[in-house]
Structure 1
Amino acid sequence: MKSEARAGGTGSSRLREALLWVVAVVLMVSAAGYQRHTGPSYPATGQFLVGGYSYEYELVRNELTTRDARVAIPDTEESVTGTLVYKRFRTDDDFVEAPMVAEDGELVGWLPAQPPAGKLEYFIILDTPTGRIPIPDEFHGNVVIRFKDPVPLFVLLPHIAMMFIAMLIGVRAGLAAIFSPGPMRRLAWASLVVMTIGGLVLGPIAQKYAFGAYWTGFPFDYDLTDNKVLLMWLVWVGACVFIGLKSKGREGMARLAVVAAALVMVIVYVIPHSARGTELDYELLEQGVPPSEALKSGREG
């Protein structure tokens, strides 16, 4: 009877551990989807009406410095012409107007490539038989696009993968602290190690490739992505130092520390990636400052 009870308990424990991993995976996947759809590089989407029909569009907000940015909307074929209107972001430049051309069922225009972290703001004017239509409309404002240098996949992919794996393990550590503390320490330290490599080693390397600077967060500037990674890392360092590698007889506080670190991690991942990120200061650039030194961070937009 004892062996049967022990076997039943083992099965129940394994089921609980599996369920906790499922919950952690769901949270990680949800965070990845949220980051993708809320970040400033996700296309600006919307609809416009011509001739009583509704057309959906996606406007690019992220492009490489090695090529001009292609801007395209559906061609309504209703005697409609389009004009792409743009200027450098946060400057007093006059807007430039460029006619769009019909191409494979779309009206297409091109934005000139910018230096790393350079931004343009733009919108489209449609001239229709019933009048002019701005895209996006006045309520949504102009679209902002940021340019970056190419980042090698051998840096970018491990960086992204490790940041989400760190979240997966960290959330799982938090769940373990609440429901099944056996593997809590092992998971907490594993999350910290993966986070350190992905966020504080590969992250700055990826940013150096993209924008020419390794770090634009505290104490040098106010890049929100850098700062939130730093905050998350410091919280997990504190939690891991507190819990140690072995139990010290204060398990209640140790479990609370891990839960708190996991909550901070979730909050950090709710903040859109690249919000208030690095951008090129065109005024400094025109003063002769090299692009890699003419970077500003922490500004909205």
Structure 2
Amino acid sequence: MKKSTVLWIAAIAITLSSVIYQRMTGPTYPIRGSVEIGGEKIKYELLTTHETDKDARMEIKVPDAGVAGEIRWKRYKSYDDWQIEPLEREGDNLIVTVPAQPPAGKVEYGVTLRDDTGNLYELSDKPVIIRFKGAVSLYVLVPHIILMFAGMLWATRAGFEAVFRGEKIYSLTLWTTVLIFGGGLVFGPLVQKLAFNEWWTGWPFGHDLTDSKTAFVLIFWIAALWRSRLKGQGRFWIITAAVVTLAIYLIPHSVLGSEIDYTKIQRP
């Protein structure tokens, strides 16, 4: 097998591992678990993201009609008091409902089940935070995702090319820069606008970590692209940019993302 093929396989493996890691660790991943009530295993899934057009609705299958429950919730980063509401029953299901919020609005909530003898079962150790967002067209979202992870793939491959002193360092670096620019600075703001009604909320205008990560990575690759044109000076910059890219992609997606701080728009 040719060395180039081996390096591409290694780059693909690293990229796919990054995709899986981000998917599993990000704050938008639902909270799943189970509790045992009366000898019956009750499975649940608590949402952490939802669109703004309707309330977030979750169904917990509990055939035992003697089991009831309640939800307590309040807007995240607010002076609100906790609201406590009973769960409605529809047949074998208990229905958890979190009221919809505007784009980037968050709600923290907890769900408690209660059996017919009064025993309580908390479904999470701490309140779950759900963020609401606008609907994002697949025509925008899919290219954004493909370009960003293609950028990760080419970044890793460019790093390998620099480590092993290959002949395609510049072209791989150029493709990496173009892919990250397209995914992060063309489609990224479109996703942000549709989801949260803001074009850009990262550095230097805000503190959104997702946008800031994109800007940081792109700066490194622009620098690497420039230095790779200078004889004998590109390898260090490309390897550094590749390592920085991998490190940043290992930060779970949407951490410190856009959110409404209700304490700034309401009185205590």
Tell me the TM-score normalized by structure 1.
0.84
Q: Which residue number corresponds to residue 133 of structure 1? A: 121
Is residue 31 of structure 2 the alignment partner of residue 44 of structure 1?
yes
Q: Look at both structures and tell me which one has the larger radius of gyration over its CA atoms.
A: 1
Identity %, equivalent residues: 38
Cα distance in 1 for residues equivalent to 2:84 and 2:141? 35
Structure 1 residue ranges (4+ consecutive) displaced by more than 6 angstroms after TM superposition: none
Quote the offset at 1:90 in angstroms.
1.5
Residue of structure 1 aligned with 2:261, choices 257, 268, 281: 281
Q: How many residues align?
A: 266
Whether the 8 Å contact between 1:45 and 1:59 is mirrored in structure 2 is yes
Q: Which residue number corresponds to residue 132 of structure 2? A: 147
Gaps of 5+ in 2: none
Cα distance in 1 for residues equivalent to 2:172 and 2:222? 13
Quote the offset at 1:74 in angstroms.
3.0
Whether the 8 Å contact between 1:163 and 1:199 is mirrored in structure 2 is yes
Residue of structure 2 aligned with 1:249, choices 231, 234, 239: 231
Whether the 8 Å contact between 1:98 and 1:109 is mirrored in structure 2 is no
Q: Which residue number corresponds to residue 42 of structure 2? A: 55
Is residue 111 of structure 2 the alignment partner of residue 111 of structure 1?
no
Cα distance in 2 for residues equivalent to 1:62 and 1:159? 19
Cα deviation 1:81-132 (Å, max 9, x = unaligned): 0112211112221222222233364321211110010000101111113411
Whether the 8 Å contact between 1:50 and 1:76 is mirrored in structure 2 is no
Cα distance in 2 for residues equivalent to 1:280 and 1:57? 28
Quote the offset at 1:255 in angstroms.
1.5
Cα distance in 1 for residues equivalent to 2:91 and 2:211? 41
Q: Which residue number corresponds to residue 9 of structure 1? A: none
Query: How well do the aligned residues superpose, as a CA RMSD in angstroms?
Result: 1.7
Cα distance in 1 for residues equivalent to 2:62 and 2:140? 38
Q: Which residue number corresponds to residue 272 of structure 1? A: 252
Cα deviation 1:242-278 (Å, max 9, x = unaligned): 002xxx431xx42221111100000010001110111
Cα distance in 2 for residues equivalent to 1:219 and 1:256? 27
Whether the 8 Å contact between 1:75 and 1:102 is mirrored in structure 2 is no
Q: Which moved further from structure 2: 105-114 or 154-163? A: 105-114
Cα deviation 1:143-187 (Å, max 9, x = unaligned): 000000111111111111100000001101111111251112111
Tell me the TM-score normalized by structure 2.
0.94
Residue of structure 1 aligned with 2:14, choices 20, 27, 50: 27
Whether the 8 Å contact between 2:77 and 2:263 is mirrored in structure 1 is no
Would the alpha carbon gap of residues 94 and 196 (structure 1) be closer, same or farther in structure 2, given more than 3 Å must change?
same
Is residue 160 of structure 2 the alignment partner of residue 175 of structure 1?
yes
Q: Which residue number corresponds to residue 232 of structure 1? A: 217
SS at match of 2:257: coil
Gaps of 5+ in 1: 1-11, 288-301
Residue of structure 1 aligned with 2:172, choices 187, 206, 209: 187
Amino acid in structure 2 at the alignment position of 1:262? A
SS at match of 1:56: strand
Structure with higher RCO (Cα < 8 A, 6+ apart): 2
